[in-house]
Every structure is written in structure tokens, then in C-alpha cells.
Amino acid sequence: MKSFIIVSDSHRNRAALNRLDAVFAECDCIIHLGDMSSDGGYVREKYPEKTIVINGNCDFDKLGDNERVIEAEGVKIFMCHGHMYSVKQTLTRLAERAKELGCGIALYGHTHEARVDDIDGVKLINPGNLSRYGSNSYCYLAVHNGTAVEKIVELPPI
């Protein structure tokens, strides 16, 4: 089994990232989906061998990839920030791109809204945001033997 902690849209709220140190330490892979990739770089400094950073629309530092595909336990995962696929208007383009790449899962951020959808056999996961504005959340994703199970985790206010 592989476990992933997926975060997005931290917007320089490193206090929220620091609150996740215990889960970052125990998981197999950490994915920061952009806005701010410098925050993803901050996490990568602590956990260099297991952190993936994706650039978002607010990322001028560009410390990560714009898009990336990985495979874990027989599941292909597409990751991006989402702004290039107009995810605030529709998720169809994102699902089509993931399917085109042979991926069963697409991870994205940008909207600050945690949600899980299924479009045409592609599971679309947005972990929400870790910014200073509104409620904070992340996604815990477990992948084993071709099956993926996700859980959106709401962080309690400080």
C-alpha cells in the first residue's frame, strides 16, 4: 500500500503546513498542487525524497512541474493545479486530459473547494486549501493493488 497526503493552495500559510508534520512524516508521498510552489519547496526541504511540487497560477518561483503523471500500485495519477483546465467552470476538460493520459485519478486545486467527483471513469480529487482564509483541508489517499481510496480531512480551527 502507498499513502499520499495531498495539499493545495497554501498561499504562504506555513503554519497550516507545519500542523501536518505528523502525517507528512508517516506517509509515502506528499503532493503540493500549487499556489504557492514555494510552500511546496518548504515541505520538500523537510521531506526531499517524497515530496512532489506542482506549479499553480500564483507561482512565480516555479519550483515544481506544471503537470505530472505517476503510477503507484497499478493506479495512474495525473496532477496539475487546475487553472489551465478551467476547473472553476467545469471538470470535463480535466477528466478528458487524465483519460487521454491513461490515468484513473486526477488531482487538482485552484478552486479552494474540497471535493471528489467521478467523470467518465476518472476520479477527480481536490483537497481544498490550506490558506489563511476559510476552512482548511487536505486529502489522504491510499492506493493498493489497483484500488484507490480517498478521504478529505478537515482541519479544526486553531
Q: Which residue has the higher pLDDT, 135 or 73?
A: 73
CB atoms closer than 10 angstroms to residue 121? 9
**Tens digits of per-residue pLDDT, 74-115?**
999 999 999 999 999 999 999 999 999 999 999 999 999 999
- Determine the pLDDT at residue 59: 85
Q: Considering the chain, what percentage of its residues have pLDDT values greater than 70?
A: 99
DSSP at 156 = P
Give, in order, the Cα–Cα distances in Å from 104 to each of 77, 100, 147, 148: 6, 10, 10, 9
- Determine the pLDDT at residue 110: 97
Euclidean distance between CA atoms 151 and 148, whole angstroms: 10
Q: C-alpha grid cell for residue 54? A: 506542482
Q: 35 by DSSP, 3-state: which?
A: coil
- Determine the pLDDT at residue 54: 97
Which alpha helices (DSSP H) does the chain contain, by range? Answer: 14-19, 21-26, 37-46, 92-100
Q: C-alpha grid cell for residue 137? A: 483541508
Domains identified in the chain and CATH numbers: 2-155 (3.60.21.10)
- Interval 39-54 mean pLDDT: 96
Q: 14 by DSSP, 3-state: which?
A: helix
